[in-house]
Structure 1
């Protein structure tokens, strides 16, 4: 049989990645990427100009097609993965009203607190929505826009998440998919529907309710690519655009995490840990987000807001490339001779410390070395993931191993650290761009009219990199226990 080609796009915080997948061989034939820049403010503002996303989408797609040495007219479908929780506002002409506020934006922390109180606190939010709204979710961004930019708020015709916006650009159709929608903060994850009353509470005129996209099931396509956009991208105008989803939901598909028993851990700008569940898991812990998956189930998830952004900041401080940074980490002993880094440079979601800042603790004249500081940064970020994994395990989610993705997963030193701190074997997937791969697999699932089951496509297209398999070393597991305990005590001190 000849090739069946699909394009997977992942629009993240740092850039857009594109891959070309052949579902017959299960192989990724080519990849492309293009960077984005952040608009940052001292008040926690983290925004992006959406025009950058469109330029990066086009550039990454053309690169991937060229690298794959395939004709873009052979592309049968496109799947889009996007960073979750971002807010894109359009007017009635489909024009973007202001830069997109991102998942890592903490400028709306006060608005989120007021909305949480309106819902009756954490318990009220849990009962009403099935999860506890957090700073960074889309909901507080809407209240912030109404209060800070009332004249602009009055022009809102579409309220979209980043991946919804890219699908709108591709097809002209305003749609949302349950997985990504469940991270908005105005969506009931158990009933899988918008909470319209919550939006009316923010704006009694009903403007927000009228601006909501239509909800689609994960296997339903949005439509076909607009002819002008197809020409710009150099692809087939009959290519079908799938429902797409949030980067974590697509990452789950791209790591084969569509059945119970697998845990995916992403070492990207942010850190995430998630697992598939067949029923909506309602955790009593506010930090566990019981999102819907983009494969028909649920995806209980924890997210830390500081990972490679924190280790990258330390690396840049010492002007180290990745190889030398990893060598420094390996050079320092477990526990970095007593140096601890609480890497909350962006505030933090898990543990829930939105207003926190980063700190270095335990410094002495003898342990203040470059190697110890590098090691402390990696250990501190990994302890945050362990904290989250403990929460998931406490909610009954168990696995035989962890599938590692994201830039940090490429480091053998970091993989060993994850295995030791989590006391669980870890392995990377062959394709490190798991969200883009998941988007391409989902596009094939949508385009085939679900002839091919999602499980069958994942079995063919997701492979594990056996060379990366890393088992915990018992002596290291023991050595980390008191150091992790120290981290928990330091976090508790901040929480008080």
Structure 2
């Protein structure tokens, strides 16, 4: 018997099939998520839910081209964003993604985010579901026939199971913002102060449970489908075999560090997010991360044009940069590079710096190595701020994301800075694989309940 994990990402949609007994990854299908739609405002970042469902249908159909015995389906996807649904369970709006910047627009002498944070005491960011909903409500964008809102992966669960309203896992509910983790509910008093009607909020569960069973024409009917979970939590579940003593670092376009705790305490930087079974994840994100390396490549391409060399946007400079990066551990007097080129969540106006420039180290190799070290240092500093709140100190360093997978130098730099051996996650599609693991857990919980009955 097998489980399926489905990941609704911002740029790709992936499905993964795993053996239930061994949890061995058997097959994956990844399709491009080309569902972006143009909004009326340049700061709106939206996708078409119907097109997303069509891509999901295609991916699942391709994965299920054999008469495979499927025990359960798990679902995950991009957190924070919201789609409005009516009482029949049909979407009545586009997906307002986590990239939506309406919360950064001017409002009442500050921004929508700034107003919410001051009024409620919660730390929110533009792209959080309730920030987007606050902006939409005040600007007449919320559809009149809206009944509930949910994440895109919650909506896909509704469509797969023909449900009329969403059931949202706490991992996603908290990502909307203004969520009281101590009492495990939305903060209704804060929502009242903002003038928001709480009736539009979805029902929330903290349990590893099924939301329904498949009821579509492209899948066998009656396959249990879990409540969807956040992609950060799914990636942690899919990458880390020993959560209590592990720290997960991810280096992609952005970068992220996640470590498990049992304490509901939010540090000064980053966030605390619900995980599973009364545990939580400290999560710190770099807004630039691996993109810093791409920015440096663009700089070198501009230099090439400046010196009269032919311009060729299709030619990648990464192989040459990677070759020079191998000198990272033999270069003396390194450059100290702060890679906050896109700011931070706490300070969007912060910018990167290059320090310790001397006559002997102002070279391309030093700059390349400085950027790589800078991206690692940014995550390590976040990790250090979490140490006092951890219930146990991590002994294992797990790496994921294409940046870490493809660069032995990045791997070694992480090991050096964290003073731990780094193990690269076995499965490339960590979130989809993690969703299948979550489905396996829900299936085992169901069997245990049936046994007890």
Could you tell me the TM-score, scaled by structure 2's length?
Answer: 0.82
What's the counterpart of residue 265 of structure 2?
Answer: 282
Residue pairs, 1:157-306, within 5 angstroms: 157-173=147-163, 174-204=166-196, 206=197, 209-228=198-217, 231=218, 235-256=219-240, 259-278=243-262, 280-283=263-266, 285-306=267-288
Residue pairs, 1:25-36, within 5 angstroms: 25-36=22-33
Q: Distance in 2 between matches of 1:265 and 1:62?
A: 33
What's the counterpart of residue 384 of structure 1?
Answer: 378
Per the TM alignment, residue 239 of structure 1 is displaced from its structure 2 partner at its CA by 1.2
Q: Distance in 1 between matches of 2:2 and 2:326?
A: 41
Per the TM alignment, residue 372 of structure 1 is displaced from its structure 2 partner at its CA by 4.3
* SS, match of residue 227 in structure 1: coil
What's the counterpart of residue 305 of structure 2?
Answer: none
1:433 is aligned, of 412, 419, 429, to 429
What's the counterpart of residue 443 of structure 2?
Answer: 447
**Cα contact 2:264–2:272 (8 A) shared by 1:** yes
- Cα deviation, 1:36-67, whole Å, max 9, x if unaligned, reads 3567999755443334432332343344445x
C-alpha distance 313-16 of structure 1, shift in aligned 2 (>3 A): farther
Q: Distance in 2 between matches of 1:23 and 1:422?
A: 34
What's the counterpart of residue 406 of structure 1?
Answer: 401
Per the TM alignment, residue 9 of structure 1 is displaced from its structure 2 partner at its CA by 1.3
What's the counterpart of residue 75 of structure 1?
Answer: 70
* SS, match of residue 288 in structure 2: coil
Structure 1: any 5+ residue segments left out of the alignment?
126-131, 454-496
- Cα deviation, 1:313-354, whole Å, max 9, x if unaligned, reads 444664427544432432456689426252433x422xx222
Q: Distance in 2 between matches of 1:367 and 1:450?
A: 61
* SS, match of residue 60 in structure 2: helix
Structure 2: any 5+ residue segments left out of the alignment?
105-110, 302-314
Per the TM alignment, residue 425 of structure 1 is displaced from its structure 2 partner at its CA by 1.9
What's the counterpart of residue 494 of structure 1?
Answer: none
Tell me how large the CA RMSD over aligned residues is.
Answer: 3.1
Q: Distance in 1 between matches of 2:159 and 2:360?
A: 56
- Cα deviation, 1:155-183, whole Å, max 9, x if unaligned, reads 42221123222222222331100122122
1:17 is aligned, of 14, 30, 34, to 14
What's the counterpart of residue 54 of structure 2?
Answer: 55
What's the counterpart of residue 117 of structure 1?
Answer: 118
* SS, match of residue 245 in structure 2: coil
Per the TM alignment, residue 97 of structure 1 is displaced from its structure 2 partner at its CA by 4.1
Q: Distance in 1 between matches of 2:362 and 2:208?
A: 54
Q: Distance in 2 between matches of 1:373 and 1:65?
A: 48
* SS, match of residue 108 in structure 1: helix
2:411 is aligned, of 415, 435, 449, to 415
Q: Distance in 2 between matches of 1:358 and 1:11?
A: 32
Aligned length: 422
- Cα deviation, 1:9-38, whole Å, max 9, x if unaligned, reads 122222112110012232111111112356
What's the counterpart of residue 339 of structure 2?
Answer: 342
User: Do structure 1's residue 5 and structure 2's residue 2 form an aligned pair?
Assistant: yes
Q: Distance in 2 between matches of 1:379 and 1:426?
A: 16
What's the counterpart of residue 309 of structure 1?
Answer: 291
**Higher alpha-carbon deviation: 352-361 or 430-439:** 352-361
C-alpha distance 217-59 of structure 1, shift in aligned 2 (>3 A): same
What's the counterpart of residue 458 of structure 1?
Answer: none
**Cα contact 2:286–2:378 (8 A) shared by 1:** yes
Q: Distance in 2 between matches of 1:348 and 1:421?
A: 21
**Higher alpha-carbon deviation: 189-198 or 357-366:** 357-366
What's the counterpart of residue 460 of structure 1?
Answer: none
Q: Distance in 2 between matches of 1:186 and 1:51?
A: 28
Q: Distance in 2 between matches of 1:93 and 1:363?
A: 62
Q: Distance in 1 between matches of 2:176 and 2:225?
A: 22
Q: Larger helix proportion, structure 1 or 2?
A: 1
Q: Distance in 2 between matches of 1:370 and 1:338?
A: 11
Q: Distance in 1 between matches of 2:129 and 2:162?
A: 22
Residue pairs, 1:346-361, within 5 angstroms: 347-349=343-345, 352-356=346-350
